[in-house]
Chains A and B, each alone.
Chain A
């Protein structure tokens, strides 16, 4: 009886893995079809990727996504790092309340954020700029940077910083030469999160993007609704590739850092 229960539990887990993975696998597989129709290919072809690269609208969307994610990384890094420093080293009034407030945007549905920022950035004259989309994405990105850096800063040994100060280093130099290298892995993780959020975010980009600033997911959207071709799969494939490349780059940088540390002894 217990054996049967265990088997059912394993099968359930297997089903969950299939549910989480199959949609991604299918979308990637379809992108390699030579056919005009959406089907799992029997032969491998890069036809739809070539089509993607030759289409100026899709390529513009690709570059717009890259620009927006760049702005997002800068904004969420500045906001997240300063807030994390403040939380990690000082006793703050209403600490818990402030912390909850800082994380609130992540739990606000994207449609609400998108609509409110559309009306507001229109009022400010920001509508139609990369900045307006990057600000929206930062609302979801900076809380993650903040959380990751806060944990990392709180884990630092206070005596290291005191030693640097004791030897006469100014606060800025202490930060730049002692703290920053120590929290570098978390900084990298924060940047990575910001990038992935920005490149993949769609709903806020739908509200705030215009013809000049539309990001890749925003171009995929109408195509997905009205004209289903494998080109959408190829565009999705490009998005996934972009994410994977950045992930690998981060992993490589982390290892490189370890190598440098190792060679220094």
Chain B
């Protein structure tokens, strides 16, 4: 009963009539009901991130596994900038950092280039086909990401179906290396993200008023002109959200580079568990994770700036 009860509570408040017991309870419920969310978010999301930041300044425990009886993940009560200094001076880490950003950019461009036309195709499809396509889009997200990557690996491998097909057709003499290179890493990561991107853009397109496109066509504009001058600009705000989500997840690429990549194609996300579990250096792992978090934060800031700045599409969509 949202609107009426809120209205009542509000008038009572302003008029100053004493609240009845049940109304008082209802008013405190408001905060009581928010309590689980507030507790869960602060204890298991905000506090762990704050702790991550602290751990990233700890010194390395130094347990390499040989002759060390007690494994220490880090040395408590220390404070050092060593982890960050190493990160920004070491060539290996710098290379990983730049490759992560490069990969995120490539993955985002490919995802958007594939997702937007496909979302538009779904938008234009008949209701029955639309439902079928939406189910197909969600399907990869209902299955395990490892299953998807495994399937891709089989598909792209030297003895995989694509290479077999190519050699049967006589296109190539020896198998084309399709896996363990940038191509397969991008293909894998795009597959893991694109269902969300397609869904967000499809949802955006469905919020547009179809009368606008009809009017444009009615006034004699070609379908292409209608698309580029009406539909595309109007869908840009939602597409920008899809772009942000895509880029954030692309920055966190982990499974795809690990399985479909090679050591030259490792990202920060691959480095975090490597430092943490293989080198037993939780402090360094935390530092790398915190650098990732900062990158995400910068993206959100850029998005906010774009969202609030008066770019052409905002004027056209009447904001």
Contact A112 B252 (CB under 8 A): yes
Residues 38-55 of B, flagged 1 when their CB comes within 8 A of A and 0 if not, give: 001100110111011001
Closest chain A residue to B125, Cβ basis: A13
Contact B49 A116 (CB under 8 A): yes
Give Cα A97–Cα B22 distance, bound, in whole angstroms: 29
Contact A200 B144 (CB under 8 A): yes
When distances are taken between beta carbons in the complex, the residues of chain A under 8 Å from B293 are 108, 112
| Nearest-Cβ distance from residue A28 to partner chain B, whole angstroms | 8
Closest chain B residue to A12, Cβ basis: B117
Q: Determine whether B57 belongs to the interface, using a CB cutoff of 8 Å to chain A.
A: no
Which 8 A/B pairs are nearest by Cβ-Cβ distance? A109-B252, A23-B151, A158-B1, A86-B33, A120-B48, A116-B48, A116-B52, A27-B151
Contact B37 A102 (CB under 8 A): yes
Q: Which secondary structure dominates chain B's binding surface?
A: helix
Give Cα A221–Cα B293 distance, bound, in whole angstroms: 24
When distances are taken between beta carbons in the complex, the residues of chain B under 8 Å from A217 are 144, 146
Q: Which secondary structure dominates chain A's binding surface?
A: helix
8 Å CB contact of A236 from B29, B147, B159: B147
Contact A79 B40 (CB under 8 A): yes
Contact B144 A90 (CB under 8 A): no
Residues 212-223 of A, flagged 1 when their CB comes within 8 A of B and 0 if not, give: 000001001100
Give Cα A90–Cα B9 distance, bound, in whole angstroms: 10
Contact A116/B51 with A17-B133, A122-B73, A243-B143 known, Cβ cut-off 8 Å: yes
Contact B248 A26 (CB under 8 A): no
Query: Interface stretch among A51-59, A134-142, A181-189?
Result: A134-142
Q: Determine whether A85 belongs to the interface, using a CB cutoff of 8 Å to chain B.
A: yes
Within 8 A of B (CB), among A43-88: 75, 78-79, 82-83, 85-86, 88
Interface residues on A, range: 35 or more
| Nearest-Cβ distance from residue A224 to partner chain B, whole angstroms | 6
| Given A19-B191, A120-B47, A171-B22; 4 other pairs, CB 8 A cutoff | A23-B147, A225-B258, A239-B143, A240-B143
Q: Determine whether A177 belongs to the interface, using a CB cutoff of 8 Å to chain B.
A: no
Interface residues of A (CB under 8 A from B): 9, 12-13, 16-17, 19-27, 30, 38-40, 75, 78-79, 82-83, 85-86, 88-92, 98, 101-102, 104-105, 107-123, 135, 138-139, 142, 146, 154, 156, 158-159, 161-162, 171, 196, 199-200, 202-203, 206-207, 217, 220-221, 224-225, 228, 232-233, 236, 239-240, 243, 247
When distances are taken between beta carbons in the complex, the residues of chain A under 8 Å from B49 are 112, 116
| Nearest-Cβ distance from residue B301 to partner chain A, whole angstroms | 14
Contact A25 B151 (CB under 8 A): yes
Contact A90/B151 with A17-B133, A207-B276 known, Cβ cut-off 8 Å: no
When distances are taken between beta carbons in the complex, the residues of chain A under 8 Å from B182 are none
Contact A158 B4 (CB under 8 A): yes
Contact A27 B154 (CB under 8 A): yes
Closest chain A residue to B118, Cβ basis: A16
Give Cα A19–Cα B251 distance, bound, in whole angstroms: 22
Contact B254 A240 (CB under 8 A): no
Contact A139 B44 (CB under 8 A): yes
Contact A203/B255 with A27-B151, A154-B2 known, Cβ cut-off 8 Å: yes
Closest chain B residue to A160, Cβ basis: B1
When distances are taken between beta carbons in the complex, the residues of chain B under 8 Å from A239 are 143-144, 147
Within 8 A of A (CB), among B93-114: 114
Give Cα A118–Cα B22 distance, bound, in whole angstroms: 44
Contact A21 B139 (CB under 8 A): yes
When distances are taken between beta carbons in the complex, the residues of chain B under 8 Å from A233 are 150
Contact B51 A120 (CB under 8 A): yes
Contact A115 B143 (CB under 8 A): no
Give Cα A139–Cα B44 distance, bound, in whole angstroms: 8
Contact A89 B121 (CB under 8 A): no
Give Cα A9–Cα B40 distance, bound, in whole angstroms: 46
